[in-house]
C-alpha cells in the first residue's frame, strides 16, 4: 500500500531539496497537512514567486528582483572597490557589517578540480570584462571562503587581475573576535602570527 | 540590507517547517532558485493539493483522499481486528508488512502529561464509540511506540476496552531481527527474556 497520491507527490518534492531524505520528507509532508491553510498557500506562492521574480544581476551576478541590482545601480557607492565573493549569501553577510560601501562580484562557486569545476564554470570571465570596461575600479578584494578551494580561487583571480595594474587584496586570516587561543587550530594561529600588526 | 522580498518570504516559509532554522532555510531558499522551474511549480502544486485534497477518515482517523478511507471501505478485510497506532505513518509501515489484513485506528498522538496531552486530545473517544457500535470487533491490538508515553497510552486504552470483553493485545517487545545481543539495551533484553517462546 502506498500513501495517497497528494502526499506521496509532496514527499517526492521535499526529497528534491538538499539534505532531505525520505524519512525527513515524510515527516515534513505530514507536518504540512496539519499546518494552517494560509501558511501552506503562502509557502506555495513564495516558491513560485522566488523562482519567477528573482534573477541574477547582469553586472555583478548577485541575486536581485531588478537588473542591475540595487547595489550596482546605487550611484552613491564607492565604485573603486569590488569585493569578490562565492555566493549571494556572502554579499548579505558583508552588507550586514555596514562598513563596506563598494561594489561586489559574485562567482557562484569556486574552482574545484574534484567536482570538475574549472574557471569557465564560475563568473570569472565576467569579472575580467568588468575590470576592462570599468576604469574606476582600483582594488579587487577577494573574499572567497578560507577553504583550500577558496584559497586556490583567490590565487587564480589574483594572477589574472594583477597584470592590469589593479590592486588585489585578500581578507585577513586570524583569530575570530571573541575566540580563545586555546581552541584555535594551528593553521589559524600560524596565519594570525604571520599577519600580526603593530599596536 | 535585507534579502530581496521574494527570497526572504521563502526563507520565512521554510522556517515554519519543523527542525529547519534560519541557516537551513536560507540554504533551501537559494537552492530553490536554482531548481528547474517545473520542479518548483510541481512542489507548489503538491503543497496546495496535499492540504486541499487530503483529510482524515471519519472512522479510523487515517489520512485519506476519500471518506471513509480505502482500508475502512474495503469489505474484504478482517473486521474482527483493529490495530491502534499513533500516526498515519504507522499504518503505512504495518501495511508494508503485507501480513495484517484487519482494520486500523489512528490516535494522532499519545498521552503525554509533560506536553499537556490528555485522553481528550487524542482519538480515544472515537475508538470507544467504534467498539460500542461495531460488534464484529473481537480484538484490539495496541501498536503505539515502545516509548514511556506509548506504553502509558497502551495501558490506558487497555483499561477502558477490557471491560467490554474485547481482547486487548500489545505488539511483542524483544530483539529486532538481525540485531546483536551485544548491542541491545538492558530493557529490551529483559523484555526479550520475559517474552521468550518455546521452539
The model's pLDDT over B52-83, given as tens digits with 9 standing for 90+, comes to 999 999 999 999 999 899 999 999 999 999 99
Residue in B43, B41, B11 with CA at minimum distance from that of residue B28: B11
Chains A and B form CB pairs within 8 A to the count of: 147
In B174-193, the residues whose Cβ lies within 8 Å of chain A are: none
CB contact under 8 A, A6 and B40: no
Cis peptide before B68 (omega within 30 of 0): yes
Per-residue pLDDT, A181: 87
Per-residue pLDDT, B1: 59
CB contact under 8 A, A46 and B10: yes
Task: Summarize the confidence of residues A127-153 as an average pLDDT.
Answer: 93
How far apart are the CA of A104 and the nearest CA of chain B, in angstroms?
14
CB contact under 8 A, A3 and B92: yes
In A109-128, the residues whose Cβ lies within 8 Å of chain B are: none
Domains for chain B: give ranges and CATH numbers.
5-53 (1.10.8.420), 60-198 (3.40.1360.10)
Query: Which of A136-145, A181-190, B102-111 is least confident?
Result: A181-190
Share of chain A above pLDDT 70, in %: 99
User: What are the pLDDT digits (tens) for A61-85?
Assistant: 999 999 899 999 999 999 999 999 9
Indicate the pTM of the whole model: 0.76
- Tell me the pairing of strands B81-85 and B139-142: parallel
Element (H, E) at B160: helix B148-161
User: What are the pLDDT digits (tens) for A35-70?
Assistant: 999 999 999 999 999 999 999 999 999 999 998 999
Per-residue pLDDT, A102: 94
Per-residue pLDDT, B198: 84
A135 pLDDT above the threshold of 90: no
Per-residue pLDDT, B122: 94
Binned at pLDDT 50, 70 and 90, residue A96 comes out as confident
Chain A hits for B13, CB-CB cut-off 8 Å, are 39, 42-43, 46-47
First-to-last alpha carbon distance for chain A, in angstroms, is: 72
Q: What is the mean pLDDT of each successive set of 10 residues along chain B, which is 199 residues long?
A: 85 94 92 92 94 92 91 93 93 89 95 92 94 91 93 94 92 89 88 87
- The C-alpha cell at A3 is 500513501
**What is the SS3 assignment for chain A?**
CCCCHHHHHHHHHHHCCCCCCHHHHHHHHHHHHCCCHHHHHHHHHHHHHHHHHCEECCCCCCEECCCCCHHHHCCCCCCCEEEEECCHHHHHHHHHHCCCCCEEEECCCCCEHHHCECHHHCCHHHHHHHHHHCCCCCEEEECCCCCHHHHHHHHHHHHHHHHHCCEEEECCCCCCCCCCHHHCCHHHHHHHHHCCCCC
Chain A hits for B95, CB-CB cut-off 8 Å, are 1
Tell me, yes or no, if A30 comes closer than 8 A to chain B by beta carbon. yes
Per-residue pLDDT, B75: 92
How far apart are the CA of B185 and the nearest CA of chain A, in angstroms?
24
Amino acid at each position: 500500500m502506498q500513501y495517497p497520491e497528494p502526499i506521496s507527490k509532496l514527499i517526492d518534492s521535499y526529497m528534491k531539496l538538499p539534505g532531505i531524505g525520505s524519512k525527513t520528507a515524510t515527516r515534513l509532508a505530514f507536518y504540512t497537512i496539519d499546518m494552517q491553510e494560509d501558511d501552506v498557500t503562502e509557502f506555495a506562492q513564495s516558491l513560485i514567486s522566488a523562482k519567477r521574480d528573482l534573477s541574477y544581476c547582469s553586472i555583478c551576478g548577485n541575486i536581485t528582483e531588478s537588473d542591475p541590482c540595487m547595489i550596482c545601480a546605487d550611484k552613491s557607492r564607492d565604485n573603486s572597490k569590488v569585493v569578490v565573493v562565492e555566493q549571494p549569501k556572502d554579499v548579505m553577510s558583508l552588507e550586514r557589517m555596514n562598513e563596506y560601501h563598494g561594489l561586489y562580484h559574485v562567482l557562484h562557486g569556486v574552482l574545484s578540480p574534484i567536482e570538475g569545476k574549472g574557471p569557465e564554470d564560475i563568473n570569472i570571465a565576467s569579472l575580467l570584462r568588468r575590470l576592462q570596461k570599468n576604469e574606476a575600479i582600483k582594488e579587487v578584494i577577494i573574499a572567497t571562503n578560507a577553504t583550500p578551494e577558496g584559497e586556490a580561487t583567490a590565487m587564480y583571480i589574483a594572477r589574472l587581475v594583477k597584470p592590469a595594474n589593479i590592486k588585489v587584496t585578500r581578507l585577513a586570516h586570524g583569530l575570530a573576535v571573541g575566540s580563545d587561543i586555546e581552541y584555535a587550530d594551528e593553521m589559524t594561529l600560524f596565519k594570525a602570527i604571520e599577519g600580526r600588526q603593530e599596536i
